[in-house]
Amino acid sequence: MSRNIRQYDGKCVRIIDRWGSVFDGICMFNSVDYDEHEFGRREEALQIENYIFYKRQIKQVTVLEANSGPYSPFLDAYGELEEDALKDGMVLTEDILLSEENVHSLRMMNCINAHIDRGEFDKLPPSAELIKTLNELVKYNQDEDIQREGKRLLERLSKIG
C-alpha cells in the first residue's frame, strides 16, 4: 500500500483492511490533526461515511474506476459496508441512506432490497423507522434515481408490513 493515503481523498475506492474486510465507497482523507481533534487518535485515516480506516489498519486501497457494469464505478450493487450498517441498526443505516453521496444511498437501498428479495426481514431495522427515513430521503433528495428507488423500496416495505 502507498504510504501517501491523502491521494485517495474524494475518490471512489475499495479499502481492504488488515483483517481482510472489504469496503467500497467515496472516501475522505483525515489528517492527523483532524483525527486527534475529532476522535482522539493521532493518525491519518481514510473515511467512508461513518467508517474510519486508520493508516496502519489499511492493507490495500484501490481506486475504482468507471466500468461498464450496472453499478459503475462499483463492481457490486452493495458491499460489506452496507451489510455492517444494517447489522448495527437504524443509526448507521439512516446515516448512509441520507448521505450526501447519492451513490451510497443507492447502495444502501440495494442492500435492503436484497434482504427483502431473500425474505430476510429479521435483518432489517424496524419497518416504521426505515419507512420514516425513506420518506425523508424521497422528500428532500432531488436526484431522480434516489427518488425512484426510494419510492420503490417504500412500496415494497408497505406490502410486507
DSSP string, 21-81: -EEEEE-EEE-HHHHHHHHS--S-EEEETTEEEEGGGEEEEEE----SSTTTTSSSS--HH
How many other CB atoms sit within 10 Å of the CB of residue 81? 23
pLDDT at site 112: 97
Nearest-angstrom CA–CA distance, 76 and 45: 24
- 37-75 pLDDT, tens digit each: 999 999 999 999 999 999 999 999 999 986 677 888 888
- The pLDDT mean for the chain works out to 93
CA dist 109 to 66, 71, 94, 130, 145, Å? 21, 13, 11, 11, 11
pLDDT at site 3: 79
**Spatial CA neighbour of 123 closest among 97, 94, 151, 85:** 85
Nearest-angstrom CA–CA distance, 89 and 135: 18
Long-range contacts of residues 131-139, Cβ cutoff 8 Å, at least 24 apart: 131/157, 131/158, 133/90, 133/93, 133/94, 133/97, 133/98, 134/97, 136/98, 137/97, 137/98, 137/105
89 membership: H or E segment, kind and range:
none
- 118-137 pLDDT, tens digit each: 999 999 998 899 999 999 99
pLDDT at site 60: 96
Task: Quote the cell numbers at residue 147.
Answer: 427518488
Task: Quote the cell numbers at residue 59.
Answer: 492493507
Q: In this structure, are residues 22 and 14 in contact, taking their beta carbons and an 8 Å threshold?
A: yes
The pTM for the full model equals: 0.90
